[in-house]
């Protein structure tokens, strides 16, 4: 047996690794999913943007005007993708973050040139690290100008109107933040539930002079109930 192969299999014997979703032992260590779950997450991937041209429209659920131009999401927040998200975010699993980066990076190639990447505030380092990698790969300026008054306030309700109210009282833009002129803005969040946070964040940017036409909202994961609510033209 080849020395490297032997070392690998010995390592695997001593430190077996498990699929992050079904918890079965992995035949190839170092990847997050077994073959079955890898097939499952492929079905949860959203290959094309599912909506377009929201500016000027109203969110059918919350009644608020939508302040971003379009919304792009990469994964449905279903079982396997949800496991990936939770490992990457709450357990700061670098393998899962790298997997996500690898599976989504080609989507950024057209978005990044001439854009500034603005990341939503999060108490977990996951989104910041992901955004930093994207901005480094595509040489795209990145900012994180939002802050929360009270980090412990969590929007437990799924009701869009009340979530918007909670976000409105809690999310702020740093006073010294200036909108970069003549740039497209990519507003990035990890997961969208009702769209309230993204929309309110976009609204804060427009109050500082950004044009909604230039704001693209990107979420890595989207809950399916949200997709049905999105108004279409
Ligand atoms: Zn599995």
Q: Of 30, 14, 32, give the one whose Cα is nearest residue 22.
A: 32
The confidence score (pLDDT) of residue 233 equals 44
Q: Is residue 22 part of a domain?
A: no
189 Cα: distance to centroid of ligand 1 (angstroms): 26
**Residue owning tokens 């001439």:** 114
Q: Given a cut of 70, is residue 155 above it in pLDDT?
A: no
Residue 79: φ, ψ to 5°: -50, -60
Q: Is the pLDDT of residue 75 over 90?
A: yes
For ligand 1, the distance from its centroid to the CA atom of residue 39, given in whole angstroms, is 9
> What is the mean predicted confidence (pLDDT) over 173-202?
91
Give a yes or no: residue 225 inside a domain: yes
| CA distances for 52 relative to 38, 62, 77, 107, angstroms | 29, 19, 20, 16
- Ligand 1 centroid to Cα of residue 117, in Å, is 33
| Contact status, residue 192 vs residue 224, Cβ threshold 8 Å | no
Average confidence (pLDDT) over 175-184: 91
Give the pair of three-digit tokens for residue 189.
């969040």
Q: Is residue 10 part of a domain?
A: no
Report the chain's mean pLDDT, rounded to a whole number. 85
Interval 103-127 mean pLDDT: 92
Q: 79-90 and 94-108 are packed helices; what angle lies between their axes, rounded to 10 degrees?
A: 110
**% of the chain residues with pLDDT over 70:** 84
Asked if the structure places residue 2 within a domain, the reply is no
Q: From the CA of 158, how far away is ligand 1's center (Å)? A: 29
CB 66 within 8 A of CB 215: no
Q: Does 32 map to a domain?
A: no
* Count of structural domains within the chain: 1
Instruction: For residue 2, report the distance from its CA to the centre of ligand 1, in Å.
Output: 28
Q: How large is the average pLDDT for residues 106-119?
A: 93
Written as six digits, the tokens of 157 are 């309700």
The residue among 23, 72, 17, 106 whose CA lies nearest residue 198 is 72
How many A from CA of 13 to the centre of ligand 1? 18
Distances (CA, A) of 94 to 79, 102, 128, 143, 198: 20, 12, 13, 22, 25
In a domain, 19, yes or no: no
Q: How many angstroms is it from 130 CA to the middle of ligand 1?
A: 24
> What domain range includes position 132?
47-229
Range with lowest mean pLDDT among 139-148, 203-212, 222-231? 222-231
What per-residue confidence (pLDDT) applies to 8?
63
- CA–centroid distance, 82 to ligand 1, in Å, is 13
pLDDT at residue number 15: 67
User: What CATH number has the domain bearing residue 78?
Assistant: 3.40.50.2020
What's the 33 CA to ligand 1 centre distance in angstroms? 5
Look at residue 24 and tell me if it is in a domain: no
In the reported structure, the alpha carbon of residue 188 is separated from the centroid of ligand 1 by a whole-number distance in angstroms of 28
Residue 207 has pLDDT above 70, yes or no: yes
User: For 66, which DSSP code?
Assistant: P
Tell me how far apart the alpha carbons of residues 177 and 19 are, in angstroms, rounded to a whole number: 42
Q: Does the structure show a pLDDT above 70 at 230?
A: no
Q: How far is CA 75 from CA 4, 11, 118, 205, in A?
A: 36, 33, 20, 26
Query: Does 79 map to a domain?
Result: yes
pLDDT per residue as tens digits for the range 14-55: 667 899 999 999 888 778 999 999 999 999 998 875 555 555
């Amino acid at each position: 047996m080849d020395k490297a192969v032997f070392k690998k299999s010995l390592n695997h014997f001593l430190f077996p690794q498990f699929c992050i979703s079904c918890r079965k032992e992995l035949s190839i260590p170092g990847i997050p999913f077994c073959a079955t779950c890898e097939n499952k997450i492929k079905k949860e991937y959203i290959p094309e943007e599912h909506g377009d041209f929201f500016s000027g429209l109203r969110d059918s659920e919350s009644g608020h005007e939508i302040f971003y131009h379009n919304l792009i999401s990469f994964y449905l927040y279903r079982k396997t993708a949800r496991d990936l998200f939770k490992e990457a975010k709450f357990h700061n699993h670098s393998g899962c973050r790298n997997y996500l980066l690898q599976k989504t990076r080609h989507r950024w190639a057209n978005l990044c040139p001439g854009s500034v990447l603005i990341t939503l505030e999060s108490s977990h380092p996951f989104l910041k690290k992901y955004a930093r990698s994207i901005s480094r790969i595509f040489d795209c300026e990145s900012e994180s100008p939002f802050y929360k008054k009270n980090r412990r306030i969590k929007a437990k309700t799924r009701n869009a109107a009340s979530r918007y109210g909670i976000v409105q009282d809690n999310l702020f833009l740093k006073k010294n933040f200036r909108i970069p002129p003549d740039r497209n803005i990519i507003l990035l969040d990890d997961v969208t539930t009702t769209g309230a946070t993204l929309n309110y964040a976009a609204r804060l940017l427009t109050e500082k002079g950004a044009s909604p036409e230039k704001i693209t909202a990107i979420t890595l994961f989207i809950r399916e109930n949200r997709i049905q609510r999105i108004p279409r033209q």
